[in-house]
Structure 1
């Protein structure tokens, strides 16, 4: 029987549970569990979930264990069941957590003080905005916007979009909604033992925002002594999980094949995954898995050897009819299926196919009506981005995220590195080699680490001082206990943080609509470096681009050479 345990000399009891073997490949990161009345992000590590129950009393530990273990079992079932569509009623029911989280601030004296100050500032802003002349109004709004973002974090754009309709572009609002509420939605669903499908996501995020704002209004009344709607039971319905379809036919599940038995493409993929783990990036295999599972279900788990070119074309039409763009189907789905079927023709794949039935199959995309734009940043855009980054004050609700807004644009400007690579940096990655400061970029698109010199201007600006203030660990990603991210979050933390930087830059800098505020630095840095006479092999090594010829691969520059090359890159003049 599962029960709490103790370890070493610790007085507190622990929960330690093994991840079920049938889903061990699907769970990673964190899961949120109720521990002593608090929602606690718990790491999933080495196939186990382990967390302190925060009590030395055996009876209390038993109660806490039972509650947390029950939530964990619900989470396992949700993972096994897969994403489910949620109705409006269910989305509203789940969003009650945001309402209760906000009004719970009434019991936190510091939170009450902050809330009262924020309410007073907002009331003052509304009065000044109403009394200001039209030409002053835009400047007043911009000033207030910057102050609030500096205090609350860039994801507060999601709230501003609701309070001041039309003030935030839709794409920025969507990114901010995911950044602010995504992890909390995932946690709320996990505690109810369910995962939502992609179509339900926007509704859930917006309901969480609406409930948080309702909670803010209720909290305001509570601060004035009115506790009449503390729970607001009439507004939020009880959550009822989606029932299985009453008349649905049993889903045909693929069975583990014996030699000579039929094998679905999903089963073939499992064979491929085992054989190719050392050669294919885990992220690629995870991406393929979702696509292959969808195809297997579409074909009722038929033997992959019966799949014809026409059958795959039917599936492609089915995917596009679901609203998936042709470009996505071509670049993601078709590539995955091509790879798995091609594997079946190889020795590693047991030569189960003589030839790939969809070899050469292509999806035509609409002809471009406009030529590709120049993806490089113009001088005015560079100045605008770097000035915006320099103005960031590190701190607030998400201190490391704000530090990412402060430093990653500058780091990209002097390295051409991808923002997602930079937000993944840890303090240990910044080191001194031979008297020169460098950064080790370890999370790269190609899975190949590289060492990049840190420009002297960055040191003068205080980047090393910030690194020293962190000591160890991530520089730009807040821990789960602050960010609230869980294992069920749909994107990796570095992806979310990189998107957050893009939202920040879009909200602060003046950019052309078709310029990528993150990726634009790569071409920009290489172009500027070339103008300063930095050799192309040094430019490729610093940005992580593959050398153009086989011979160049034997000319990999040393760190000393890269440091000398970086000295030729002149500092930006703002």
Structure 2
């Protein structure tokens, strides 16, 4: 998920969220406004949106992240839907939001009455268009001056309101909104001037503003056609981020959604039928672009989740994916899924000599570190390879007198969403792993945190898989996965070493096979005793 990130130097959390691929070129360089706690932050958009959350408290940072992501989702949806034409009622609803914020925000301490007289005067000058608006020659000059003055006075307020509601509006609607904001500001200023003089009788005209509709102004303004496939995907992604789910499904599914929209030639979710999805499936099969398993696990799963959310939010009447079958292939196993003894030794031998390879000088030092240590860590822990490539210096800890690695969602994606401790095998200590960690800088051990791009730990994992398949290592059998083979092998080795399934599952992070084994915590001494039973790899 998009988690708040803590600045290691100052302790403040910040949000970093990637802009959807289809919108980057359109919105790059633009400033948007998103809610951060009680304030509205103006943020310049690049390939990512990055903003301080203004807090050092982790729980508060998560709440602010959720609100900011929801606002970003509305902004991206508005970009895809195009400019909306607002009705007079919608414009007055937006003006009412501003009025209530201003009138109620200063009600307790309105200050000197002269402040509000100055507000009224400044508003009038903006409404008149300053000097050129009153005395410029020609209607075009005067109108241009008025528009410019109103933008300077109320433009930022209009942007904040529109961004909050996830709206882009046409020029005519914006001019009418600016005029309505001036009227609302005048009304609030007169009310606050009375308050400053001690008169707290209710504003008799306060009820003239419409209440915000339950479905939101944006839905009313854009209508049903605004239910886009890509917009629903953004909503699904934001929901998963709030739930703390791994971001990997979103990254894997985003190109699938774009491909489907490209196949359809439109982005209107309400127009999608079951026949459309079947036609897309058959086209992908005919072109050999997906296997039946890939379509079921990725393409169909992505569409089903997105359209099911549309039904759940009452934006769509039904889910067209429900009747599309997800076929299963019949797999034929021709070997064990774990590495053989020879394959394991070949990988670990190459890992031990990673810095001596003829191409070592041309290889990134981060990649060499990953090649040197990650295969050994996987061999003695059964961990997922990305759980190892995302390890940080602070994740190597001593607990109850035992050196351990801490696998935690704070470092990156963990499939179960739960942290676990895994004792280090004595052979890792003998090889100098702890000395390597002590000599490393704070932060990631196996990837460059300054390198741009999404999920550097996953990229490093992929690179390791490619390396294992290379001639220098030589594990070329396509029937064993180049990274996940360690996970299968560990369970086999653990079983031969007499380690119980319950303890092995605690070490690897696998779900327990029965309800009884799910009770109780994974104790370090128990896992340490088990780890020591694992035979050493002699290479």
**DSSP 3-state at the match of 1:385:** helix
**DSSP 3-state at the match of 1:46:** strand
Residue in 2 aligned with 1:267? Answer: 231
- Give the TM-score of the pair, scaled to structure 2: 0.54
Residue in 2 aligned with 1:381? Answer: 343
Measure, in 2, the Cα distance between the counterparts of 1:400 and 1:516. Answer: 23
**DSSP 3-state at the match of 1:545:** coil
**DSSP 3-state at the match of 1:440:** strand
Shift in Å, 1:315 = 2.1
**DSSP 3-state at the match of 2:406:** strand
Measure, in 1, the Cα distance between the counterparts of 2:337 and 2:397. Answer: 32
Contact (CA 8 Å) 1:326, 1:363: kept in 2 or not? no
Q: 2:392 aligned to 426, 435, 453, which one? A: 426
Q: Which has the higher relative contact order, 1 or 2, with Cα contacts under 8 A spaced 6 or more apart?
A: 1
- Is residue 319 of structure 2 the alignment partner of residue 356 of structure 1? yes
Shift in Å, 1:426 = 1.4
Shift in Å, 1:498 = 1.7
Measure, in 1, the Cα distance between the counterparts of 2:489 and 2:305. Answer: 34
Q: 1:415 aligned to 378, 381, 391, which one? A: 381
- Is residue 466 of structure 2 the alignment partner of residue 503 of structure 1? yes
Structure 1 residues 493, 299: CA separation in 2 closer, same or farther (over 3 Å shift)?
Answer: same
Gapped runs of 5+ residues in structure 1? 1-17, 32-41, 49-79, 82-254
Shift in Å, 1:382 = 1.9
Query: Pairwise mapping of residues 48-197 of structure 1 onto structure 2 (< 5 A)?
Result: none
Measure, in 2, the Cα distance between the counterparts of 1:20 and 1:375. Answer: 37
Residue in 2 aligned with 1:550? Answer: 515
Structure 1 residues 540, 272: CA separation in 2 closer, same or farther (over 3 Å shift)?
Answer: same
In the TM superposition, what whole-angstrom CA distance separates every residue of 1:489-548 from its partner, at most 9, and x where no partner exists? xx6322222232233333333435122231111111111111111111111111111122
Measure, in 1, the Cα distance between the counterparts of 2:17 and 2:419. Answer: 33
Contact (CA 8 Å) 1:401, 1:478: kept in 2 or not? no
- Is residue 425 of structure 2 the alignment partner of residue 458 of structure 1? no
Measure, in 2, the Cα distance between the counterparts of 1:380 and 1:550. Answer: 37
Residue in 2 aligned with 1:180? Answer: none
Measure, in 1, the Cα distance between the counterparts of 2:447 and 2:493. Answer: 29
Shift in Å, 1:371 = 3.1
Measure, in 1, the Cα distance between the counterparts of 2:525 and 2:48. Answer: 40
Gapped runs of 5+ residues in structure 2? 1-14, 29-45, 53-78, 81-216
**DSSP 3-state at the match of 1:335:** helix
Shift in Å, 1:26 = 7.4
Shift in Å, 1:338 = 0.9
Contact (CA 8 Å) 1:451, 1:559: kept in 2 or not? yes
Please identify the structure whose Cα radius of gyration is greater: 2
Structure 1 residues 517, 261: CA separation in 2 closer, same or farther (over 3 Å shift)?
Answer: closer
In the TM superposition, what whole-angstrom CA distance separates every residue of 1:365-389 from its partner, at most 9, and x where no partner exists? 6655x43431111112222222221
Contact (CA 8 Å) 1:24, 1:47: kept in 2 or not? no
Shift in Å, 1:467 = 0.8
- Is residue 281 of structure 2 the alignment partner of residue 311 of structure 1? no
Measure, in 1, the Cα distance between the counterparts of 2:429 and 2:517. Answer: 31
Shift in Å, 1:265 = 2.4
Structure 1 residues 434, 520: CA separation in 2 closer, same or farther (over 3 Å shift)?
Answer: same
Residue in 2 aligned with 1:155? Answer: none
**DSSP 3-state at the match of 1:278:** helix
CA RMSD for the aligned pairs?
A: 3.5
In the TM superposition, what whole-angstrom CA distance separates every residue of 1:107-166 from its partner, at most 9, and x where no partner exists? xxxxxxxxxxxxxxxxxxxxxxxxxxxxxxxxxxxxxxxxxxxxxxxxxxxxxxxxxxxx
Measure, in 2, the Cα distance between the counterparts of 1:400 and 1:570. Answer: 29
Structure 1 residues 300, 505: CA separation in 2 closer, same or farther (over 3 Å shift)?
Answer: closer
Shift in Å, 1:463 = 0.6
Measure, in 1, the Cα distance between the counterparts of 2:444 and 2:223. Answer: 50
Residue in 2 aligned with 1:252? Answer: none
In the TM superposition, what whole-angstrom CA distance separates every residue of 1:307-330 from its partner, at most 9, and x where no partner exists? 221121112234445652134333
**DSSP 3-state at the match of 1:561:** helix
Measure, in 2, the Cα distance between the counterparts of 1:434 and 1:564. Answer: 13
Measure, in 2, the Cα distance between the counterparts of 1:22 and 1:392. Answer: 37
Shift in Å, 1:352 = 3.7
**DSSP 3-state at the match of 1:508:** coil
- Is residue 417 of structure 2 the alignment partner of residue 447 of structure 1? yes
In the TM superposition, what whole-angstrom CA distance separates every residue of 1:169-206 from its partner, at most 9, and x where no partner exists? xxxxxxxxxxxxxxxxxxxxxxxxxxxxxxxxxxxxxx
- Count of equivalent residues: 329
**DSSP 3-state at the match of 2:448:** coil
Measure, in 2, the Cα distance between the counterparts of 1:344 and 1:454. Answer: 47
Structure 1 residues 477, 509: CA separation in 2 closer, same or farther (over 3 Å shift)?
Answer: same
Measure, in 1, the Cα distance between the counterparts of 2:272 and 2:49. Answer: 39
**DSSP 3-state at the match of 1:350:** coil
Q: 1:299 aligned to 245, 264, 267, which one? A: 264
Measure, in 2, the Cα distance between the counterparts of 1:276 and 1:366. Answer: 29
Residue in 2 aligned with 1:477? Answer: 447
Q: 2:352 aligned to 377, 385, 390, which one? A: 390
Q: 2:483 aligned to 518, 525, 543, which one? A: 518
Structure 1 residues 275, 416: CA separation in 2 closer, same or farther (over 3 Å shift)?
Answer: closer
**DSSP 3-state at the match of 2:415:** coil
Contact (CA 8 Å) 1:420, 1:495: kept in 2 or not? yes
Query: Pairwise mapping of residues 183-262 of structure 1 onto structure 2 (< 5 A)?
Result: 257-258=219-220, 261-262=224-225
Structure 1 residues 277, 497: CA separation in 2 closer, same or farther (over 3 Å shift)?
Answer: closer
Structure 1 residues 518, 260: CA separation in 2 closer, same or farther (over 3 Å shift)?
Answer: same
Shift in Å, 1:472 = 1.7
Shift in Å, 1:459 = 0.1
**DSSP 3-state at the match of 1:400:** helix
- Is residue 433 of structure 2 the alignment partner of residue 467 of structure 1? no
Contact (CA 8 Å) 1:326, 1:365: kept in 2 or not? no
Measure, in 1, the Cα distance between the counterparts of 2:506 and 2:334. Answer: 26
